[in-house]
Every structure is written in structure tokens, then in C-alpha cells.
A and B are shown apart, each in its own frame.
Chain A
């Protein structure tokens, strides 16, 4: 497993005239960790859905490495090397934790025993190994978030899209997830793009941050740069925020 570069080029999407995402461009270099932040309704999740193929962009292109992803179905995009989590977690509820992740690992092998071994290794790294025989529906929210990451990771992605996997986690749990993601990025080189509200995690993880507001990119830079950016401060703190 190694990372691939993501190129988002002038991407736009409207829903019945409402511009959810408009003319957004940015690059994520292979092996980088980058964050997308912005207030509620900024279009972050829509952007993820455009990359993952849930929606087709009205304008612009999305590329993973040399490959154009526009127009592909979500399963084809997953096969191309994009693993994603859902903001509102979507576990396979009445299946065991292990089977949830095994299903992800079956993207890489047709052998169920092999996929199961792979799933157990991933569960072990995420601290879910002891809960592998529980039903996913019986997990706590933090564990469900971990399960989302585990299932996405099991598909063998070159790019991991993480949609608020730290929301609802306690500070120590956030630190664990941050450490896990950083370790994963270092050991496998997988590119990570994350939507996150938890600034503590954004600051600790990401080399660069893209800020969205009303569907448009208003700033981009290092975490330190964007937190000093006038436009960003205005969005987050209102007109008087400078």
C-alpha cells in the first residue's frame, strides 16, 4: 500500500440551483495528510461525495494519480484506491465487527480466510480486536468511528477520506486516533484527506488545510497560516473577528 496524489480541479456541484460546491481546486500530494475545514454547511461532505463518486461533479475534474475519477461509480472509485468513512457512521449493524472489516478486505482478495486475517490485523491496530465478535450495532460511538476507519482501510486505499472520524471522541481518544493515523501514514504512505472540526486534531495531523465556506475555497495553507487568515477568522468569528 502506498499513497497517491489527489487533484481536485475547479470542481462544482449544484442541487436545484443551490451551489453546494463551487469552483474548488486543490492538490493533495502523495503521502500527505491534509484537512478540509469550514463551518456547517460549507460543502465539505458534498466535496467528499464528489471525490468518492456518490455525486457526479457538474464541472471540473477529480484525479487520483493519473486517473480521472469523474463519472465512475463509488465501487469503482473504491477499487481505484479511495477508501472513505461516513460522517454519520454506516456500519453493517447486524454483522460482527470482524465481518464488517472482512467485507472491506474482500476488495483485495477473493479468499474469505485471507480477508479475515487481514481484518484481524487491522482491528488489532485500531484497538478493536477484543471486540471483533460483537455485533457492530452494540458498539459505542467512538468504536463505531474506529470501525468506519478499519473498514475503509481494509479495502487497501491509496487515499483515505475521513469524514469527521474524531467528532464525539474524548480528548484522549482523539489523541489515540491522531497517533494511529500518523503511524499509518508513516508506515504505509497512504494519502489522507480529512474533514474535521476538532482543531486539536487538525493542527496535530495536517501539513496543509483547505478552508471552505458557502461551497467555495476561501483559504489554503499550513494550519498556522489559515488560523491567522483574515477571511477564515471572519467566517468563524463573525465580522468583528479581526
Chain B
């Protein structure tokens, strides 16, 4: 009961009803909508989940990572290699994926926080590591190097959730579960001591330290949790896409892609990553649809960029804080 009180205490009743309705709609959606729409919502879930993981580091603890594709890639390659080379299923592979990402994240965090590399310089460090691993995986012949690494695709009648082989609908429910778990975990953390400490560090590290908070330790915890969670997203996206290319999965573009959701939705908020990711995937799909048949390459990207620009310009705090105020969920203006 204490957990329920902690998760839902202080949340307006209307918000809870809205959340329950949203969950119900999403649970039933695959029975109603077309298979294509299922894949689109699935993509929203994926970005919502990894956005939530990134948000722990930047939104809560105030540490900017521009290299989160690194953890996606490590998770993806670790689980894929275990499955293909050793026949170990992805659910067991998750542990290696998470451990590997946390180890690398831990090294980055240690270097940055121990040697007082802060702000943009810390962000540069995260980029450097992601680039290093991109080039490294480009040259690991054992894992296909730059030609890519492929998971075996079988035509099967039934889903095999234990090996993550199956239809998009199966992945839809798994990703939905991840989004719910990540959302619950973040809410639980934010209402606890750890979350309070993260926010204090984000707001003012010096004052946080003077208030008795061991800043290094709590920053490390944010990086470890964020990198581990992100790697989990990498595992599922690998088994969903069935192919891995270092040039793509470790790329800077992917890192940016996954942080746009939380920024557009509302940095440091709980619902921001979900809302932002949903909006961005939606905008992306609409733009693809509109520019279909156009001879101009890059037209979609231009419109996509324009929409992002407009949102940032008019709602600099993100869409969710604005929406929350509009709905009367927000009473004091704190990020939620």
C-alpha cells in the first residue's frame, strides 16, 4: 500500500482517470487499428522508453548526455551476439546488455565527475565515447563489422516471446510494458530521497553538496541507471529490427533523436518523454505521408525540423507543462 500511496499520492483524480483511460485504449488498440498503426505506436513506445531513461540523467540529475546511442548499441549488440553465437535468449541476454552498458556508462561518469568535467564538456565526453564505439564496432569482423549484423528471421505462425521472435503486436505489448514500468519507476524515484537528491544536484551542485548530498555518488547512480535502462531498449529494438549497423545504431543522429522526445515533451517531467515521443513520431509519419511522391529529397526533414523549431520557440518548457497547466493538473509550476 505504501508503494501505491507513493506512486499515486497527490495526483489529481482527473489525471488518474485520464491515465487509466489512455492505458486501456493503448491495450485495446492492436485489436482495432491496422498493423501499420501498430508499428507506429510501437515506435512511439520505444522513443518514450529510451527518452524516459535519458531524462533520468539530464532531466532529473542535470547531466547532459549526447551519446546515448552508445548504450542502445551496446545493448543491441550484446543481446544479438549472445543469441546468434551462443543460443542464449534475449531475456537472459538482457543481463549482459545492461551490465555492459552500465560498465561503459560508469567509466564515462567516473571520468566526468571525478575530474570535474561538467556541462558541455561532459556532453562532449559522451559524444567521444559513442563515436569511439561506433568506429570500434565498424571493425569487429566477428560481429559483421561495417557490413552489419543480422538476426535470423524465421517465418513462423506463432509468436515466441521467450526468444522475442514474433509479430509487431508482440513487440507492441512488450514495449508498452517497458514504458509503464519506466514511468512507474521514475515516479517512484522522484518521490523518494534519491529523486530529491537528483533534483538538488540539477539545480545547484554546490548547494546540494553543502546540504549533505554526496554529489559524485548520486550523479553516478543517475548515469548507471540511465545507461542500463537505455541498453534494455537497445535489446528490444535489435530483436524487432533484426539488423544492426554500427553507422546507424551508434550514430550521433540516433542520440539526438532519442533526446528530442523528452525535450519537446518537457525536460525533467515524467509525462514529457511519453508525450514528446508520441508527438514527434506522429509529426514524422505525417510528414512522410505529405511528402510522399515529392521529388525533393530532404523535404520531410525540413518540415520535421520546422515543427520542432516552432514547439521549442513557443513552448520552451515543453508541451507537457503547458498542457498540464491547461488541464489544471499543475498547481505550483514545478516540473512534474
CB of A192 closer than 8 Å to a CB of B: no
Given the complex, which residues of A lie within 8 Å of B335, measured CB to CB? 94
CA A84 to CA B193, docked complex, whole Å: 21
Bound: A93/B333 CA distance, A: 11
Proximity string of chain B (248-268) to chain A, C-beta cutoff 8 Å, 1 when within and 0 when not:
000000000000000000000
Indicate which residue in B197, B331, B333 contacts A103 across the interface (CB closer than 8 Å).
B197
Give the distance in Å from the alpha carbon of A73 to the alpha carbon of B212 in the complex.
9
The answer to whether B197 and A106 have CB atoms under 8 Å apart is: yes
- Residues of chain B contacted by A96 (CB below 8 angstroms): 332, 334
Residues of B with C-beta under 8 A to A73: 209, 214
Q: Is A155 an interface residue (CB 8 A)?
A: yes
A residues less than 8 Å from B332 (CB atoms): 96, 133-135
How near does chain A come to B115, taking the closest CB pair, in angstroms?
Answer: 16
- Residue A122 interfacial (CB < 8 Å): no
A137 and B213 alpha carbons, distance in the complex (Å): 21
Given the known interface contacts A73-B209, A86-B210, the answer about A92 and B200 at a Cβ–Cβ threshold of 8 Å is yes
Say yes or no for B204: interface residue by CB 8 A criterion.
yes
Binary per-residue interface labels of chain B (53-78) against chain A in the complex, 1 for a CB within 8 Å, 0 otherwise: 00000000000000000000000000
A99 and B211 in contact (CB under 8 A), knowing A92-B200, A92-B203, A106-B196?
A: no
- Tell me whether B196 and A78 are in contact (CB under 8 A): no
Over the window 196-219 of chain B, the binary record of Cβ atoms lying under 8 Å from chain A Cβ atoms (1 yes, 0 no) is: 110110011011111111110000
Q: A79-B212, A133-B331 are in contact. Are A90 and B207 (CB under 8 A)?
A: yes
Q: Given the complex of chains A and B, what is the CA–CA distance between A95 and B212 in angstroms?
A: 18
* Beta-carbon contact of B203 and A95 below 8 Å: yes
Please name all residues of chain B whose beta carbon is closer than 8 Å to the beta carbon of A135 when the two chains form the complex.
332-334
Does chain A have a CB within 8 A of B192?
A: yes
Instruction: Tell me the minimal C-beta distance from A161 to chain B in angstroms.
Output: 9
Contacts A99-B334, A112-B191; is A94 near B212 (CB within 8 Å)? no
Give me 23 A-to-B residue pairs in the complex whose CB atoms sit less than 8 angstroms apart, sorted by A's number.
A52-B210, A75-B209, A75-B210, A75-B212, A75-B215, A90-B204, A91-B203, A91-B207, A92-B203, A92-B208, A93-B203, A94-B203, A94-B334, A99-B196, A102-B196, A103-B197, A103-B200, A103-B208, A104-B212, A106-B193, A133-B332, A151-B207, A155-B212
A75 lies within 8 A of B213 (CB):
yes
* Chain A residues within an 8 Å CB radius of B334: 94-96, 99, 135
Is A125's beta carbon under 8 Å from chain B? Answer: no
Query: Which residues of chain A come closer than 8 Å to B333, judged between CB atoms?
Result: 135
Q: Min CB distance, A142 to chain B, in Å?
A: 18
Which bucket holds chain A's interface residue count?
A: 20 to 34
Query: Could you tell me which A residues sit within 8 Å of B by CB distance?
Result: 52, 54, 73-75, 78-79, 84, 86, 90-96, 99, 102-104, 106-107, 110, 112, 115, 133-135, 151-152, 155
B residues less than 8 Å from A152 (CB atoms): 210-211
Q: Specify which chain B residues have a CB less than 8 angstroms from the CB of A106 in the assembled complex.
A: 193, 196-197
Which of chain B's residues have a CB closer than 8 A to the CB of A86? Answer: 206-207, 210
Instruction: Give which listed residue, B196, B212, B213, B214, contacts A112 with CB less than 8 A.
Output: B196
Give the complex CA separation of A119 and B97 in angstroms.
42
Out of A74, A93, A103, A133, name the residue touching B196 (CB < 8 Å).
Answer: A103
Q: Which residues of B contact A74 (CB under 8 A)?
A: 206, 209-210
Q: Return chain A residues, CB-CB under 8 Å to B209.
A: 73-75, 78
Q: Which 4 A-B pairs have the closest CB atoms?
A: A92-B203, A78-B212, A90-B207, A107-B212
On whether the beta carbons of B210 and A78 are closer than 8 Å, the reply is yes
Residues of chain B within 8 A of A90, CB atoms compared? 204, 206-207, 210
Determine the chain A residues whose CB is within 8 A of the CB of B215 once the complex forms.
75
In the complex, what distance in Å separates the CA atom of A186 from the CA atom of B199? Answer: 34
Closest to A78 in B: B212
The CA of A103 and the CA of B201, in the complex, are separated in Å by: 11
- The residue among A75, A107, A112, A155 with the most chain B CB atoms within 10 A of its own CB is A75
CA distance A103 to B205 in the complex (A): 13
Q: A73-B209, A78-B211, A133-B331 are in contact. Are A110 and B204 (CB under 8 A)?
A: no
CA distance A134 to B331 in the complex (A): 9
